[in-house]
Amino acid sequence: MRLLPGSLSGDRSSPPSWIRVAPGRVGLLLAPLLALVALALLPASPAAGPAGASTQLVEPVRAEQGMVVSDHWLASKVGRDVLGGGGNAVDAAIATGMALAVTHPVAGNIGGGGFMVIRFPDGSTTALDFREKAPLAAHPRMWLDEDGEYSYEIHHDSHRAVGVPGTVAGFDKAHRLYGELPWERLVYPAVRLAEEGFELSDDLAASLGRLVERTPYPATVEAFSRDGVPYEGGEMLTQPDLARTLDRIMLNRSDGFYRGETARLLVEEMERGDGLITAADLELYQARERTPVLGTYRGHEIISMPPPSSGGIAMVEMLNILEGFDLASMGHNTAPYIHHLAEAMRRAYRDRARYVADQDFADVPRHRLTSKDYAAELRSTIDPDRATPSSPSDLQTTYESPQTTHYSVVDGDGLAVSVTYTLEQGYGSEIVVPGAGFLLNNEMGDFNAAPGLTNERGLIGTEPNLARPEQRMLSSMTPSIVARDGRLVAVVGTPGGRTIINTVMQVILNVVDWEMNIQQAVNAPRLHHQWLPDRIRIEAGGASEATVEQLRAMGHTVEMGGRQGSANSIMIDPQSGERLGAPDPRSSDAGARGH
């Protein structure tokens, strides 16, 4: 191990008859059985548990067969139990995602959307796109007010900011294509968690308290408080309306969300708030299977998400640039190392803004952007001693909230699943659908502001990512998988808005160039540059004062502080084959569960 200067050392169409009862009755029938399963599958090695436990981890959690790492330890446990009950990694990913919709409401969701990248044991790959879509009534100038001026409030904080949700359709499609256990077995744990409740950590209780204090929506206050009184840590949060919605999804798959009672409640809320989503929008929504973005870095295969995510393209572009430099000779998080990373970042983020959008609506030059020849062109423009100024007249990026969530799953056969999904901002639009209990996204905010509207505040009006009927909005989500010589190496991803791509890349660099174990790679401090604004942000403790001064002398603007992402990741031990789970200590509820 290198010393690292500056770093931290059958037929699923019909549910079985026993499950066709009210959620409370299901709990009575299955609670003893599930309790026994959970006890039988407790990992032999220590695992991150309730709030704060993961902050003490310096070594990854080890398991011989399967591993689930997510932003809430209860959701990880749900996924672990699915693996132990005979499910594969896709099954566990679905169950984990459904449970996060209950236990991690700031980003876990059934009212949002996201992406899933899969690598099969034979090395083949695929990707599921369940990103939200613009409603049929959307148009490029929809964020302008009656005076023709851009309105941030309409764009981000209104019912019109809600995109057609994709999560339930995405999980349904993934299960039909690649799942093994019955659908009901995967959704039921989330039903039970919503109905019977779970104990709130101090952090989540405080976050819900802030939501309740600021939100103007009565249904949101009702869902996440005791008659308007904020919860405290240690209290139980029950969500009966959400339990009933999940029950409909359990019994009717996607139809339990996009049609029937749930759809009716959602459309009624849209009509109350002058939103655009109609019953037709919900019925038209379909998840898409896509070909992943593939790249290589120092002999490792990089598998990541294609458009409408910009993550795979931008990350492979940066890795291609950096492959031409001897990073290991520079020292981890030294001034030369940070400089070269920042220069690669600024070039990839400029290309992201210029070229990348929903590939069903735009001609995205993905092969050129991810080619080694193009990277060589960009590399030749990097001065090893001076920062390249980012011109204010150049392209700028739209706002993306850091409140997303990522989880990683590997099963005993080596099937690997990387999932990132989101509501956009923390708690999305903050709109809970009355009677349905789930939060709606405000993902339409990821579309560009208006045609030609590009300014120094960060708005961008380039053509590819304007709002159009049924177009998916651009994203930075970067669920990724790393392999080498036919072997699975790691499963990586993170939340963090525009920082996502850079966080995932740095975890991969930490594993490949710096030979860190996966927990060290996740723990290590991170940095971010995104072309404009022209600055490097470095996490607290990520660089010495002398290093910052060196960077400033090179022409960089440097800001220190804050935290970046929550990169819940898995690595395969090359000697033992064990699954090594690394919950990110930046998330107090994060946990790894293995069997």
Active site residues: 404
Which residue carries 């459309």 as its tokens? 267
Are the C-beta atoms of 582 and 63 separated by less than 8 Å?
A: no
Q: Which of 275, 229, 353 is nearest to 111 (CA)?
A: 275
* Cα–Cα distance for residue pair 96/186, rounded to 1 Å: 8
- Tell me the HSE value of 262 on the side-chain side, using a 13 A CA sphere: 29
Give the residues across from 569 on adjacent strands. Answer: 582
* Cα–Cα distance for residue pair 186/81, rounded to 1 Å: 10
* Cα–Cα distance for residue pair 567/16, rounded to 1 Å: 37
Can you list the positions of beta strands (E) in 92-165?
113-119, 125-130
Cis previous bond, 479, omega within 30 = no
Are the C-beta atoms of 93 and 85 separated by less than 8 Å?
A: no
* Cα–Cα distance for residue pair 441/472, rounded to 1 Å: 13
* Cα–Cα distance for residue pair 193/250, rounded to 1 Å: 14
* Cα–Cα distance for residue pair 518/525, rounded to 1 Å: 13
Q: Which of 350, 329, 297 is nearest to 481 (CA)?
A: 297
DSSP assignment letter at 325: S
* Cα–Cα distance for residue pair 220/333, rounded to 1 Å: 43
Are the C-beta atoms of 497 and 476 separated by less than 8 Å?
A: yes
* Cα–Cα distance for residue pair 355/468, rounded to 1 Å: 17
* Cα–Cα distance for residue pair 83/97, rounded to 1 Å: 14
Helices 240-252 and 183-196: crossing angle, nearest 10°?
A: 170
Q: Provide the 3-class DSSP secondary structure of residue 31.
A: helix
Which residue type is seen at 73? W
- Two structure tokens written together for 70: 């997510």
- Two structure tokens written together for 359: 């590939």
**Alpha-carbon distances of 268 from 112, 263, 272, 276, 279, rounded to whole Å:** 18, 9, 6, 11, 10
Determine how many CB atoms are found less than 10 A away from the CB of residue 133.
Answer: 28
